[in-house]
Structure 1
Amino acid sequence: MTRFEALTHSPAKLLSFGAAARVADHLRRGGLAVLPTETGYMIAADATNEPAVEKVFHAKERSLANPMHVAFGSLRMVHDFARLDEVAERLVRAFTPGPLTVVVPQSGRLPDRLVTLNGTVGVRVPDHPATLQVVDLLGRPVTATSLNRSGEESRPLDHDFLPELDWSGEEVVPVLEDVTSITQPLASTLVLVEAGAFRILRQGPVTLAQIEAAAQG
């Protein structure tokens, strides 16, 4: 049976150096973790590790034909794994960390399935210090998919719900709960950026007017 390891954050919403390193090492070995963002909790796996990502699909009962977006720990990491044109760069700089996901060409360092679609990747930088801390220590992006079954609404962390998901025999899943983390009622705004133009694929906290203003520089 999977054991859920509760993590504790500081008043600044950071993990201790030791705890952050343990979670990053756990992800590096192909494990899963539950981490907070400003729009809800996400199931995190090393996005470059296909077997680990497949476990997330299995837990969510999500079709393998429906790729997941990925979360980055810094703008530097975004540039390592994605190709940003001028408009995408402006949007990422203006609204992240925060509730915006930008779909852009990937750099070729991500698998060609599960987290990419037709050579593109959904770039997300969540607004939570401990989550960014873990991803930055890992040195690779993680899956940015909500803690729920596919097709169901995202929810606050529910300890009774966690065991209902199929964690593929994981012995331990680290869980960082922050009751103040969710500051946005909607999923992140999803924007496709290509050839210097953008198109909103999903409405969210970042509005069309805000995106238009930032895209113009």
Structure 2
Amino acid sequence: MPYDLPALPYGYEALEPYVDATTMNIHHTKHHQAYVTALNGAMDKFPELASLGLADLNKSVGTDKIPKDIATVIRNHGGGHWNHSFFWKVMTAPSDTNGASTELKAAIDSAFGSSDEMKTKFNAAAASRFGSGWAWLGVKADGSLGVTSTPNQDNPLQTVADDQMIPVLALDVWEHAYYLKYQNRRPEYISAFWNVVNWEQVNANFKDAKAGNVSSV
């Protein structure tokens, strides 16, 4: 089996009161595990794809590197595995969240005018994503920051994305990520997310992305 469910870098209760422990447990052990299991089932039939690595596997979505027979499975479950592995790392306990580095703040100010305006655009991308999906902050091909959203388990690494970029921050807006605590109040969940952003990890992701690299998950 080429892929395993990664351990969280904190306890299930660590993000309280903004993300509840029950949601984190189910999200990690049930939803994320399901993506890993399905991905491994597909990869068992095409073991040569394992040499790509998870990030490159996602970059190959929508290209002829992925056999048509498993293209949808890789897109959905390979995307789901990478997205969640990335998502867990950009969150931390509220007491440990700091802020953007000098370099990242300068890039945010250049692209959006201010950190508040970046958050406004990010929140809007997350709130307006119809149905299930993700919101992203990432580095575009020209080196500037951008905000986008993707449906289902797509991500900006994939060639099928409307806006390709290297992610530095992500928010899961599938209902299973927030419904136990926030029910249909997605904007409230989005607002609460900023209290648990792991800026140290986001800063590291930004540094990697500026160099053209995808941070390891």
TM-score by length of structure 1 reads: 0.30
More RCO (CA 8 Å, sep 6+): 1
TM-score by length of structure 2 reads: 0.30
